[in-house]
Structures are given as C-alpha cells and as structure tokens.
Amino acid sequence: MESRLGNDLTAGRRRVLAIAGPPGSGKSTLASHIVEKLNGAGRYAAAVLPMDGFHLDNAALDARALREIKGAPETFDAEGFVALVRRIRQGGTDIRYPLFDRAQDRTRPGAGCVTADTPLIVVEGNYLLLRHGAWADLRALFDVTVMLAPPLAELEARLVSRWLDHGLSRDQAETRARGNDLTNARTVINESAEADLILGEPRYPRGDAP
C-alpha cells in the first residue's frame, strides 16, 4: 500500500487513502495507526479525515422519521461529504470540516482541519465505497482503497461491547447491535465496490444469524 503512494508523496503530490468498513471494524484505529506511523517516522505529513462528521442532525432525522436507523447511508449528508473530499483532494488551501461528538451525539462544525501542506489524507468511514447514491462518486477520488471486514460474529461482539460502554444494558446493547448496526454492516460489505485491499470476509451472509 505504501509503495503505491510513496513516490507521489515524496514528489509533493497529495494523495487520498480510503479505509472503509462496517461500524466497529477498526477503521478509526487503523487510520490513526497509519497516520501516527508516517508522521512519527518523519517521512510524510498525514492526516485523518473521518466521515462521521457528516451525520445529519438529530432534528433533521426526526423530521424525516430516520432517527431509528441513524448510521444508515441515508442518515448522512453524502453530497456534502463528497464535495469536501473533492476539495481536499485538490488541495491548495487549509480546509475545515465537521467532527462527530459521539458522547454528545452531535456534530461539531469546523472542528477539524486539513492543512494545505498535508500530502496524504487518510479518509475513514462506512460508506466510502458504496455503489449507489452520491456515495458512488467517492471511488474516483481515492488513490488506494482498503475494506475492513472482520467475521460477522466477531463484529457483533465488538458492537455489543461498544454499546455496553455507552451505558446500555446487555439486552439493549444486543438489540442495537443485531438490529441497525448489523444491517448497516451487511450494506457496507455487500453493496460496496471492490477495494484494492480486503482485510477479512468479502461478503456477509444475509439474514439474522451471524
């Protein structure tokens, strides 16, 4: 992966790496690890751009009766995110972007910034390779793409643990994980374009069972 980006980065050309995957698959962890390793080695300047800042506001979701499926493709501002990635790929100026505050369940406008002199942007999010809607315009903006797809049973365990950490009961956590979360996970894996590198399972089974 680094070899595909290295020559362009050392030549000063901005490149965009996409890390896609279901909720709980480890996208943020991998993206942060890559950026920390590159910056720590002093070879390149790199920054993470998370997709989560483009969650629609809860009031907007309520108005559209979408709050119960928050996290599904239609609950994000896909057009706005595509426009941001396009601007960031072009470079030339500092660009601010929103971040999602998970603890407060809301977006913080302009909380993040990509500086003009950052040659590598690592974008991470669920729907970066989705084949339909505005999401489909993203694929052409990425130089290298990665899909994280851990086994479904492992993913479910991670998602349950995440909801437990947010204060839900065991029953509530399992309901959330097995409902909306795993539905979205199957959408990510089964309805995305093929990535350059797939880490895990290329397809998830349909239905209720992991």
* Residues 56-71: tens digit of each pLDDT: 999 999 999 999 899 9
pLDDT of residue 145: 97
Looking at residue 55, the DSSP 8-state letter turns out to be B
Question: Which segments of the chain have a pLDDT < 50?
Answer: 208-210
pLDDT of residue 128: 98
pLDDT of residue 148: 96
* Residues 83-94: tens digit of each pLDDT: 999 999 998 899
pLDDT of residue 103: 80
pLDDT of residue 61: 93
Based on the structure, what is the number of domains in the chain?
1
pLDDT of residue 177: 78
Residue 207 lies in a domain: no
Q: Between β-strands 144-149 and 197-200, what pairing exists: parallel, antiparallel or unpaired?
A: parallel
pLDDT of residue 210: 45
Residue in the structure block whose two tokens are 């050309």: 13
Residue 143 lies in a domain: yes
Residue 115 lies in a domain: yes
The answer to whether the CB of 145 falls within 8 A of the CB of 196 is yes
Residue 210 lies in a domain: no
pTM given for the model: 0.88
CATH code: domain of residue 116: 3.40.50.300
Residue 26 lies in a domain: yes
Domain range for 132: 2-200
Which residues make Cβ contacts (< 8 Å) with residue 1, sequence separation at least 6?
17, 144, 146, 196, 197
pLDDT of residue 48: 97
Alpha carbons 13 and 8: distance in angstroms, whole number: 5
Residue 86 lies in a domain: yes
Alpha carbons 180 and 174: distance in angstroms, whole number: 11
124-159 CB burial, b ≥16 within 10 A, e <16: bbbbbbbeeebbbebbebbbbbbbbbbebeebbebb
Considering only CA atoms, which of 149, 151, 158, 156 is closest in space to residue 197?
A: 149
Q: What is the distance, to the nearest Å, from the Cα of residue 117 to the centroid of all Cα atoms in its chain?
A: 23
pLDDT of residue 118: 93
Residue 89 lies in a domain: yes
Residue 208 lies in a domain: no
Q: Between β-strands 46-50 and 120-125, what pairing exists: parallel, antiparallel or unpaired?
A: parallel
